[in-house]
Amino acid sequence: MGERDAFAYWREMICATFVRLAAEPVDGPRFSGSIEHVPVGDVELSTVVAGGQHVRRTRGLISAGTEEYLLASIQVEGCGRVEQDGRVAELSPGEMAFYDSTRPYALHFDEAFHQLVVQVPQRELWLRDTRGLTSRTLGAGTPGAVVAAFFRSLSETAANSSDGGFGLVPHAIGLLSAAATYAGGAPPAREAVESLTSQRVLDFLRRNLSDSTLDADAVAKACNVSRRTLYRALDGEGVATRLRRMRVERARELLAADRDRPVGAVASACGFATESGFYRAFRAATGETPAEYRRRCGTAGQ
Average pLDDT over residues 22-30: 82
Q: Which CATH architecture has domain 248-300?
A: Orthogonal Bundle (1.10)
State residue 148's pLDDT score: 92
* CA-derived radius of gyration, the chain: 22
Half-sphere exposure of 2 (CA within 13 A, CB side): 2
State residue 169's pLDDT score: 76
State residue 29's pLDDT score: 59
Distance between CA atoms of 298 and 256, rounded to whole angstroms?
7
CA-CA distances (angstroms) from residue 249 to 21, 146, 253, 255, 262? 42, 22, 7, 10, 17
Statement: residue 281 has pLDDT above 90: yes
CB-based burial of residue 284 (10 Å sphere; 0-12 exposed, 13-18 middle, 19+ buried)? exposed
Average pLDDT over residues 206-224: 91
Tens-digit pLDDT profile for residues 77-96: 999 999 999 999 999 999 99
Sign of CA dihedral 122, 124, 128, 131: negative
Statement: residue 163 has pLDDT above 80: no
Domain ranges of the chain: 3-186, 248-300
State residue 302's pLDDT score: 47
State residue 5's pLDDT score: 77
Statement: residue 165 has pLDDT above 60: no
Average pLDDT over residues 163-169: 64
Distance between CA atoms of 221 and 134, rounded to whole angstroms?
33
Statement: residue 48 has pLDDT above 60: yes
Statement: residue 116 has pLDDT above 70: yes
Residues forming beta bridges with residue 25, ordered by sequence position = 53
What is the CA angle 131-133-138, rounded to 5? 160
State residue 162's pLDDT score: 60
Residues forming beta bridges with residue 40, ordered by sequence position = 43
Q: What's the pLDDT band for 194 if we cut at 50, 70, 90?
A: confident
H or E stretch covering 84 = strand 80-84
Q: Does domain 3-186 have CATH number 2.60.120.10?
A: yes
